[in-house]
Structure 1
Amino acid sequence: MDNSPTPKVETSQSTPTPPAKIWRCFSGAFIAGSLGMILYRFMTTIAVTFANKPVTSDNPAVVNISAAVRTLVVGIVALGAGVFAIAAVGLFLLGMQLAVQRLMGRSKSSSQT
């Protein structure tokens, strides 16, 4: 006789996720855009600071490593700015799509009555 418990399969329906709210999309786009702009300005400040303070060394390894580190720092901040900018554009477009769908849904329902 096998005393191992048999697994129970749940057949309950999962609750549907609530639809995205338009104001959440636009506020998220504003926040992501603000963070992207802050990171972009931070990146330009870092790049100008690096350009104004060149590495003065006779050792070529030091010059190469410092150039690599400077490029890496500016690149990572630029990547962050780009990610937030793309997220802001995507959220803004999602908000516009939801607004158009809401307007089209209201116009269809009002024309049927």
Structure 2
Amino acid sequence: MGATKTDFFSEKQNEIANIMKALGHPARVAIIDYLLTVNTCICGDIVNVLPLAQPTVSQHLKELKNAGLIKGNIEGNAICYCIDEKTFVKFQKYLGDIFTKIQKQKSNCC
């Protein structure tokens, strides 16, 4: 079986791309914003504040969880979601490195 296109990039590049892809939908950004205000919640809480159906919210939560941006713990018959700080710290470092390099370069590009 041949290599996929992602095989040509580093693990870090693939990880950052997955994070950006997960954050590339406004509903997912809204979910992150909501989780930041309430700290933890269940899917039903998110459904109550977003104009989306429960299955749609569940799919967005799955994408955020797969990217490592949130984590979920089973509590009874529900899953309680919260922010996964480790992934955001990695993303912050990546973006911080970019801004630091931009500040140092201050190039005359374009």
Range into which the TM-score falls when normalised by the shorter chain: 0.3 to 0.5
TM-score, length-normalised on structure 2? 0.33
Task: Give the number of the structure with larger relative contact order, counting CA–CA contacts within 8 Å between residues 6 or more apart.
Answer: 1
**Larger gyration radius, structure 1 or structure 2:** 1
TM-score, length-normalised on structure 1? 0.32
- Considering fraction of residues, name the structure with more strand: 2
- Considering fraction of residues, name the structure with more helix: 1
